[in-house]
Structure 1
Amino acid sequence: MPTALITGITGQDGLYLAELLLEKGYAVHGVIRGQNNPKRELVERLLPDVHLHNGDLTDMSSLLRALRDSDPDEVYNLGAVSFVAYSWENAHLTTDVTAKGVLTMLEAVRLHTGDDPGRVRFYQASSSEMFGKVQETPQHERTLLWPRSPYGVSKVFGHYMTINYRESYGMHASSGILFNHESPRRGPEFVTRKISRAVARISLGLQDELVMGNLDAERDWGFAGDYVEAMWLMLQQPQGDDFVIATGQTHSIRDFLDLAFGHVGIADWTPYVRQDPQFMRPAEVDRLVGDASKAREVLGWKPRVSFPELVALMVDADLEATQQGW
């Protein structure tokens, strides 16, 4: 039975990845920050077979303990301060966790493996936000990185540190440059879930308006459940490498609004949506679209859930949750 250790297991990707690995017969361990973490109950309810370890990406000793106690074959570093807007307000914390936390995890794995650095395979959750002010379209593994937020800058640090540990120490270390991926498990602070929740509530007469920022930003959106499979596939390769994971299609916030409101029978959403400058980014990333040719050719990976299916899935889940009073 292979064993995996996941940081960030309480997040959207961590939950889907843990489910996938359990289905594949893995013993799954998760690092969870804080003794009274409010999301601990969620993990224990959804994934009772997962073994949880208290740990923090800013604390080397706690990561070494988690590695010692789990003795994993694979480590998936998904933990981060992942809300882009928050990163401007807390740039230092974002840097400590999302950037330096990758170094701490890599070094912990290196120390744990000793003279056999390839014994533990390592996955780093890189991000399309690293491309920021895009220098070419679509973006691929060799596209120049130009991040436009403290979050993006932190992800670039972690990305290159993963490459450096692979090249310096012979670690089996891979980075997945994941473009935007969503699901009903996405946090309500993220724009896609903000929309799906508001649409559900508006359709049920529980909310009057949705306040938004930039409606013209364009993203390459996929389903998180599809993307975690790509993470696993990367660590099954003979050597570590970097892969863009994306659908290759781009849609605007307006497109998302069209589909979400249309799904509940509202053809014209303009009376319900208001823009507010406070939700605008200080430095906007206007358009992201990924070229996942390498992932298709090397990993045999491709997305299964389409953009309209994803939007419908999220709205339906929030309709059910709202009606049930969750």
Structure 2
Amino acid sequence: MPPGPGSGAGRSEFRGLFEVLRNEVSCAYAARVTRPRALIFGVSGQDGPWVARDLGNAGYEVFGTHLTQLPPDGVVTRSVALDLMDEQVDVRGLIERVAPRIIVFLAGRSSVAESWKDPAGTMTVNAASYARILDAVRDIDPTIRVVHASSSEMYGDTEGIIDESTSLRPNSPYAESKAVAHRLGVEARERNGMNISNAILTNHESVRRPLPYVFRRISVGAAALALGLIDELVLGDLDVIRDWGHAPDYAQAMALMALAPEPDDFVIATGVSVSLRDVVASALACVGLDDRWDLIALNPALARSGSSYPVWANPDRIGRTLGWKAHDAATSVISIMVTHDTEVLSDQGRRSDVLLRLG
């Protein structure tokens, strides 16, 4: 089992990375690397491996941090266990020793529902730790390019289509923490001339998304229904409307932002919003259970409080500026995930753990 956050083993691994880097670099800061380096905070999450892949393909040597779960093999040169709740962690020292030209901040808490249980912790991880990173970058080398994974949740129940000019209206601890970090980046760029960009991400999903996030719950549930492993799939509010994209597409957008010559803020979205009801219908159709709504049960307790507002987003600006466009929207993403989860659940060795987490 990997060392827990803040554990002695985790701290030892952190110090160990410093020693390795200290031994391999002995020149001045600007001259001590042959390939440009990127540092991804939170490289083992849903988006991190794909951002690492894209930056690696662009010629960067990629380093990362993780909490407890190691990134997939071959994703980064090295990754170190790092708990951003621990204010004693030497973030400045890590940046000095890695000497990155690019930093991507993907670390933090991403669940709106969980943020209500620990608002202070959510603010610490998502905003205060990011502020420490910005302080370090300002002092070490303000030309380092930083990309922050922001969120469309910052706009709350805004009516109409959101874009980069839409006013922020956060309505959850998670959204508040993202709004604070977002504004910190904007201020650092405008006041101090730092190279900070915000990727304003709408919901995005993939086979790396863990349960109990609703998209993964739907994909696993549809596969389990088709295989006769469960009798019904229990969900919450199916009338929620969101712009759901595919995580590899969104990772590509963040990599493009990191490689862009000028910093900027961009809405990352597909431009197509659908309801969860549409997603469930597509998932059932993928496994030959078209219109089998008798297999779907609703439990209001699973509905996320305060999320009934629709989200419509306009990604045109990043398309015009960086040439990015999403390849997959919600219905094709759920098809990819259902196909994957059907294969996983067909393997008896992996089946029990997945079904246990489905509940």
Per the normalisation by structure 1, the TM-score is: 0.92
Show the counterpart of 1:122: 146
Show the counterpart of 1:132: 156
Show the counterpart of 1:303: 326
Query: Could you tell me how far 1:50 is from its partner in structure 2?
Result: 2.8
Which residue, out of 63, 67, 75, partners 1:29?
A: 63
2:50–2:252 CA contact under 8 A, matched in 1? no
Question: Which digits, 9 at most, give the CA deviation of each residue in 1:183-225, with x for residues without a partner?
Answer: 1111112110111011111111111222211110101111111
Return the alpha-carbon distance in structure 2 between the equivalents of residues 63 and 175 of structure 1.
20
1:95–1:150 CA contact under 8 A, matched in 2? yes
User: Which amino acid in 1 is paired with 2:150?
Assistant: S
1:8 has 2:32 as partner: no
Question: Which digits, 9 at most, give the CA deviation of each residue in 1:226-285, with x for residues without a partner?
Answer: 111111111222321100011111000000000001100001232222222222223225
Show the counterpart of 1:258: 281
Change (3 A) 1:18 1:236: closer
2:41–2:104 CA contact under 8 A, matched in 1? yes
Return the alpha-carbon distance in structure 1 between the equivalents of residues 195 and 292 of structure 2.
48
Return the alpha-carbon distance in structure 1 between the equivalents of residues 120 and 328 of structure 2.
36
Query: Could you tell me how far 1:101 is from its partner in structure 2?
Result: 2.1
2:96–2:140 CA contact under 8 A, matched in 1? yes
User: Which amino acid in 2 is paired with 1:16?
Assistant: W
Query: Which has the higher mean CA deviation after the structures are superposed, 152-161 or 91-100?
Result: 91-100
2:52–2:75 CA contact under 8 A, matched in 1? no
Query: Which has the higher mean CA deviation after the structures are superposed, 302-311 or 172-181?
Result: 302-311
Query: Could you tell me how far 1:320 is from its partner in structure 2?
Result: 1.0
Which residue, out of 174, 182, 185, partners 1:159?
A: 182
Change (3 A) 1:49 1:130: closer
SS in 2 for 1:89: coil
Show the counterpart of 1:244: 267
1:130–1:155 CA contact under 8 A, matched in 2? yes
Return the alpha-carbon distance in structure 1 between the equivalents of residues 108 and 50 of structure 2.
16
SS in 1 for 2:304: coil
Question: Which digits, 9 at most, give the CA deviation of each residue in 1:288-309, with x for residues without a partner?
Answer: 1211111011111111124332
Which residue, out of 156, 172, 175, partners 1:149?
A: 172
2:270–2:328 CA contact under 8 A, matched in 1? no
SS in 1 for 2:301: helix
Change (3 A) 1:69 1:53: farther
Return the alpha-carbon distance in structure 2 between the equivalents of residues 77 and 229 of structure 1.
14
SS in 2 for 1:12: coil
CA RMSD, aligned part only?
1.5
Question: Which digits, 9 at most, give the CA deviation of each residue in 1:47-88, with x for residues without a partner?
Answer: 364311232334364312221221101000001110111111
Return the alpha-carbon distance in structure 1 between the equivalents of residues 281 and 273 of structure 2.
14
SS in 2 for 1:198: helix
Return the alpha-carbon distance in structure 2 between the equivalents of residues 256 and 151 of structure 1.
24
1:55–1:63 CA contact under 8 A, matched in 2? no
The gaps in structure 2 that reach 5 residues or longer are 1-34, 351-359
Which residue, out of 269, 289, 293, partners 1:270?
A: 293
Runs of 4+ in 1 over 3 A off after TM superposition: none
After TM superposition, the structure 1 = structure 2 runs for residues 38-117 of structure 1, keeping only pairs within 5 Å, are 39-40=69-70, 43=71, 45-47=72-74, 49-58=76-85, 59=87, 61-113=89-141, 117=142
Return the alpha-carbon distance in structure 1 between the equivalents of residues 120 and 102 of structure 2.
29
Change (3 A) 1:281 1:316: same
1:10–1:32 CA contact under 8 A, matched in 2? yes
In the alignment of these two chains, the number of paired residues is 314
SS in 2 for 1:159: helix
SS in 1 for 2:256: helix
User: Which amino acid in 1 is paired with 2:47?
Assistant: D
Change (3 A) 1:57 1:112: farther
Query: Could you tell me how far 1:91 is from its partner in structure 2?
Result: 1.4
Identity within the alignment, %: 37
Show the counterpart of 2:7: none
1:194 has 2:222 as partner: no
SS in 2 for 1:130: helix
1:55–1:66 CA contact under 8 A, matched in 2? no
1:126–1:176 CA contact under 8 A, matched in 2? yes
Query: Which has the higher mean CA deviation after the structures are superposed, 205-214 or 7-16?
Result: 205-214
User: Which amino acid in 1 is paired with 2:73?
Assistant: L
1:57–1:105 CA contact under 8 A, matched in 2? no
